[in-house]
Chain A
Amino acid sequence: MSVPILRHGNVLVASIQVAQTDDELLQLRDRLSEMVGQSRAKGVVIDVTAFDVLDSFATRTLRDIAYGSRLRGARTVVVGIQPDVAFAMVQLGLDLGAVSTALDLDDAVEELNRPPSEVGRR
């Protein structure tokens, strides 16, 4: 099942409802990349609340989405990483690099509305 991508102002919101296979994640990456260009979005929010696991492949794909979007002028915020999933990521040795994260959609939108110069300076 493909992930619905909604447009909210100049932000694209991808809300992942079920566990994704590797191929589905790569499709999401490609669709988002295309839509960032088409819609001239300035922000991308990826909601991973439904993820049972963020393993090395999923983490790398989220990083790829964020870096790819940034090269096309949009910032990415990943929201909804569950506490147990976060703990497993730490144990595995994974991190999201420079990708922004937020607890929920509201925080993500707030993060995206902040001027880029202030990002990471909280």
Chain B
Amino acid sequence: MSDAQRIAIGRDADIVMARQAGRELAALMGFKGSDLALIATAISEIARNILVYAKRGEIDLSGAEEGDRRGIVVIARDQGPGISDVEQAMRDGFSTGGSLGLGLPGARRLMDEFEIESQVGVGTTVRMRKWVRR
């Protein structure tokens, strides 16, 4: 899709860039008000996870269309150390990085769909989608 874009994550200014690009794309796809803040916040959390745990990675943003519904797809990818216990990482308050431990479980709550794949020594991919409410 022509509206797809990739944001490289390698320093903390990239987190701001990713969430602002996500908000802009979400507005184009028809999201309003509080949903824009939810999407931007979810992107901010997963972008920071890349920076903290993998040092670098990327976020792909694209519009989604399925039948007559529209939405946004956010894919965060890194070739970092991976997560040995994904179930544990998805629990509120669990963190090995000195944070509040709300990044992954919080992002899942903010979006409609959330999938995570991680392999130790290979990397982590998070796929999130949210649909415009009608």
Contacts and interface: CB of A to CB of B under 8 A. Distances in A.
Partners in one complex: yes
Interface of A: 19-23, 52-57, 59-60, 82-85, 87-89, 91-94
B102 A93 contact: yes
A85 B44 CA distance: 13
Nearest to A85: B37
Nearest to A82: B37
A94 B100 contact: yes
Contact of A92 (B12, B34, B106): B106
Interface stretch (B14-22, B57-65, B81-89, B114-122): B14-22
B37 A53 contact: yes
Given A19-B16, A21-B12, A52-B37, A57 B106 contact: no
B34 A83 contact: yes
Interface of B: 12-13, 15-16, 19-20, 23, 33-34, 36-38, 40-41, 44-45, 48, 92, 99-100, 102-103, 105-107, 109-110
Contacts of B33: 84
Contact of B99 (A60, A82, A85, A93): A60
A56 B38 contact: no
Nearest to B99: A56
Contacts of B105: 93
B23 A92 contact: no
Contacts of B92: 93
B103 A56 contact: yes
A15 B86 CA distance: 39
